[in-house]
Structure 1
Amino acid sequence: MTEAVLEVSNLSKSFGGVDAVRDVSFALAPGELLAMIGPNGAGKTTCFNMISGQLSPNRGSIAFRGADGERRELVGLRPREIWRLGVGRTFQITATYPSMTVAENVQMALISHNRRIFNPTRLARALYRDRALELLETVGMAEQADRAASILAYGDLKRMELAIALANEPRLLLMDEPTAGMAPQERIELMKLTAGIVRDQGVSVLFTEHDVDVVFAHSHRVMVLARGQLIAQGTAEEVRADPHVQEVYLGGGTTFGHGAGEAEHV
């Protein structure tokens, strides 16, 4: 049996007595594209923030198995420590350097990954450019390497962010609302690109998404959160047919087969 890249057990987080996430457990296999969906306020982003170290859970375990095969507990580690273990992440709102070029943005991530950020012996723009171009080629952005990030179209900005997230050679990639704000065709292209990276590089991906058409078209498995609890998980067909899931989405104002909702707030 293949050992999971990520094992989450009884993960829980409350804010002021309100349970944002309650006893969530799941596992992510190597090379799997796993979607986490749910209505606004379901706890998706809170889960992501606990896995990446930006929030500490009240209880539960988050175990990550890196490229060396060693199983490590992520609870208690800082975001940078988790990133260095091989966990990449993209965000709902892109966090890039608009004054830098596309290549320089990726180079900054590579400099950090290679622990050269405090080494003043060479100009930063000369470091790891070839590797940056390779990553940009992976996401279809090599031709725009020398453009300023500030003038990129939004879809291209998202692809650049994906290249940045790949700079630490992640075994696990967390993508929080990767297609938020994108046009329908851009959503399809980005998720096709992500699915190709999963297939070609064996990266495991956990992503949240409001556009269920994107979810059902590209994910290997789907899990559904509602009011902080995991209410269903399985294949797209199993989740689509689940009466409880249908009830939750109808109650939240979203029906299967129709576009994205608002951004996650909890």
Structure 2
Amino acid sequence: MSLLRVSNLSMSFGGVKAVDDVSFDVKPGELLALIGPNGAGKSTCFNIVNGQLRPTHGSVMLDGHELVGMRPRDIWRRGVGRTFQVAATFNSMTVLENVQIALVSREKRLYGLWKPAASHFEDEALALLEQVGMTAHAQRACSVLAYGDVKRVEMAIALANRPKLLLMDEPTAGMAPQERTELMALTKRLSAERNIGVLFTEHSMDVVFSTADRIIVLARGKLIAQGDAETIRNDANVQAVYFGTGKTFQPRAALSHDGGEPHTEPRT
């Protein structure tokens, strides 16, 4: 059963189709990588799912509920967490306080100066930090952390909303190889433990092929291939796009949600 179902998604900017009739799904507990060269439409597609952009056409369903037309904060409350390419934390606040603020937001609570938010949800925040291996750093300011640790804090913040779906935009950007491996191993573990579907974009093919359960590939706004790592490695369209065979592609038949034939074929 699908957690997220994206159907016939299209987005135009003037006469340019950034996303062109794209369909895919994400299952609970699955890590789905969305890849493609620069200008492929990855970010546009990603931001439509998150509610930052409204598509020209198509549907984005989460657990049977339409997300198109909803504001990002309302989509977040529906159970969609997100991490960003550049980690989004409050540098002047402690690690613990960053997670507590996310928990306060989840509960839709406001506190006055006489009752600071930092006095609330401390136990739950510490439990989240334990899950991402950051308990020892709880009282440190985010500004003094190594970048890989900041990414772990961001993960704890994303988990504060108990998401069904986690969107990760270039999660390992700017990280050293060992940090990349550790963060994606953590993501895979938490996805399995919490049955969270994960949709992530990523430029590192090592990360994609070692982590993703399935991979979908965009090129010039079209979905040109999907499948497991081996299928994607051997796909002629993907090789043409990534390795510069000099070939292009043209529409053939739409891809099915469960991984049918690619809808493009190379031509010279």
| TM-score, length of structure 2 as denominator length | 0.89
Q: Can you list the C-alpha shifts for 1:129-178, whole angstroms capped at 9, x where unaligned?
A: 11111111111111001000111111111111111011100000000100
Amino acid of the structure 2 residue aligned with 1:112: S
Superposed displacement of residue 200, structure 1: 1.1
CA distance in 2, matches of 1:4, 1:119: 38
SS in structure 1 of the partner of residue 161 of structure 2: coil
- In the alignment, what sits opposite 1:11? 9
- In the alignment, what sits opposite 1:235? 228
CA distance in 2, matches of 1:251, 1:211: 18
SS in structure 2 of the partner of residue 249 of structure 1: helix
- In the alignment, what sits opposite 1:119? 111
Count of residue pairs brought into register by the alignment:
244
| Counterparts of residues 92-171 of structure 1 (less than 5 Å) | 92-116=85-109, 118-120=110-112, 122-171=115-164
SS in structure 2 of the partner of residue 62 of structure 1: strand
From 25, 28, 40, the equivalent of 1:27 is: 25
- In the alignment, what sits opposite 2:195? 202
Structure 2: where are the runs of 5+ without partners? 246-268
| TM-score, length of structure 1 as denominator length | 0.90
Superposed displacement of residue 16, structure 1: 2.3
Higher relative contact order (CA 8 A, sep 6+): 1
2:237 pairs with 1:244: yes
- In the alignment, what sits opposite 1:57? 55
SS in structure 1 of the partner of residue 133 of structure 2: coil
CA distance in 2, matches of 1:24, 1:206: 15
CA distance in 2, matches of 1:37, 1:251: 16
| Counterparts of residues 63-74 of structure 1 (less than 5 Å) | 63-65=61-63, 71-74=64-67
From 73, 87, 95, the equivalent of 1:80 is: 73
Amino acid of the structure 2 residue aligned with 1:102: V
CA distance in 2, matches of 1:63, 1:227: 24
- In the alignment, what sits opposite 2:248? none
SS in structure 2 of the partner of residue 11 of structure 1: strand
SS in structure 2 of the partner of residue 9 of structure 1: strand
Task: Extract structure 1 runs of 4+ deviating beyond 4 A.
Answer: none
Structure 1: where are the runs of 5+ without partners? 66-70, 253-266
Amino acid of the structure 2 residue aligned with 1:12: S
- In the alignment, what sits opposite 2:180? 187
Superposed displacement of residue 198, structure 1: 1.1
CA distance in 1, matches of 2:205, 2:103: 33
CA distance in 2, matches of 1:251, 1:107: 48
Amino acid of the structure 1 residue aligned with 2:127: E
CA distance in 2, matches of 1:240, 1:81: 38
- In the alignment, what sits opposite 1:257? none
Contact 2:111–2:117 (Cα < 8 Å) also in 1: no
Amino acid of the structure 1 residue aligned with 2:174: G
